[in-house]
Structure 1
Amino acid sequence: MALKDQKAALRKRLMVKAANITEHVLRLPAYQNAKAVAIFLSMPGREASTRDIVLNALDSGKAVFVPYLHAGETPKSKVMDMLQLQDKDDFHSLCPDAWGIPSLSKDSVERRRNALGGIGISNHNSGYQQDPPSLDLMFMPAVAFDQSHRRLGHGKGFYDRYLSKYKDTLSGSQSGRPMPLLVGIALREQILPPGETIPADEHDWTVDQIVVADTE
């Protein structure tokens, strides 16, 4: 098979798997009942697309938050925030980054609602006390998951640090809200077989459940 045909076949398989994952997600009671969800925007060709989940959530009137990476306290450090998409037009207007992932523009972030509370990125955000965190559900990517729902990320620790910060902010708000349900999204080949485990320490967060494409 020619390389062009192999790539076309791979794209078709990923589209089928993405549709399968979307069907599973839309049937989740936690998703159906959620008012605010955070979800990663997928890397083309490497991850099952989350596009249709995002569009369904926006159509359903849910508040949808997506990742935004920005400079941290030191020049080389990066911080992840979850900032709100306004609507489907806003989503369709996102431009791909160097990895092809749809990304929020820098000039738009200061007017976006932050899932931690307030408006804009957390470095400049003083609205936490008036607007406490309110996520019901977070969809998380991974390189792999094991049978105990441990997650192997890309090695940057963005999600683990974000969830720890979210927990601290939630505790400080005294709102009484629980942490969001954490749901991993994976292709079948990203699930380790029984007996193989992902090393983890006290800083690593496990997901509550995993949605897996059950079709080849």
Structure 2
Amino acid sequence: MAGVTVYGPPISTAVSRVLACLLEKDVPFELAAVDMSKGQHRSPDFLKLQPFGKVPAFKDENTSLFESRAICRYICDKYADQGYKGLHGRGLLDRAWVEQWLEAEAQNFDPPSSVLVLQLAFAPRMGLKQDAKVIEENERKLAKVLDVYEKRLGESKFLAGDEFTLADLSHLPNGHYIADRDHLIKSRKNVARWWEEISSRPSWKKVVEMQSAPAS
């Protein structure tokens, strides 16, 4: 198999979502560096792949895609018969449940958690001052989302049912940076159990190793 390339740094939450999906599906891939500090994401060649100048961009032979969740759906469908086969559900209803909770992640979990990731993890690295008011406001918003998750995860092992799916995987990138906020994760028994299980998957551990590796 040849031609699968992910463009962007593993530390990017969107890039790491795609990497975790590829690893779950046992799809060999090449990771192509994009030095955003040097403006490589604005180069004409890169903009042909990702017209908004963001990461990731993705190529699979003659197919190019952008937007991490769309890429993950494509990977699950094209490589349905390899790797972990339950990632996108095992039937029509399963797929609908996965899509439902993927939408919940994108529309409800991602907005406040992305602000927190920027404030808590990336602002210090970029030499920016953290805004305590913004952190407090978005922790409050995220807490309401996690209260819904707490109830759901008391009814099923994972968000879309009793199997790990793309709906759970999609929470890993942002969750990784807020997992140490005990009042958000550990204070909720079911959320804490769920987070411990999904973040312990070998695919995600490999992504975390990639994030920690020195840039080549």
How does the TM-score come out when normalised to structure 2?
Answer: 0.31
The structure that is helix-richer by fraction is: 2
How does the TM-score come out when normalised to structure 1?
Answer: 0.31
The structure that is strand-richer by fraction is: 1
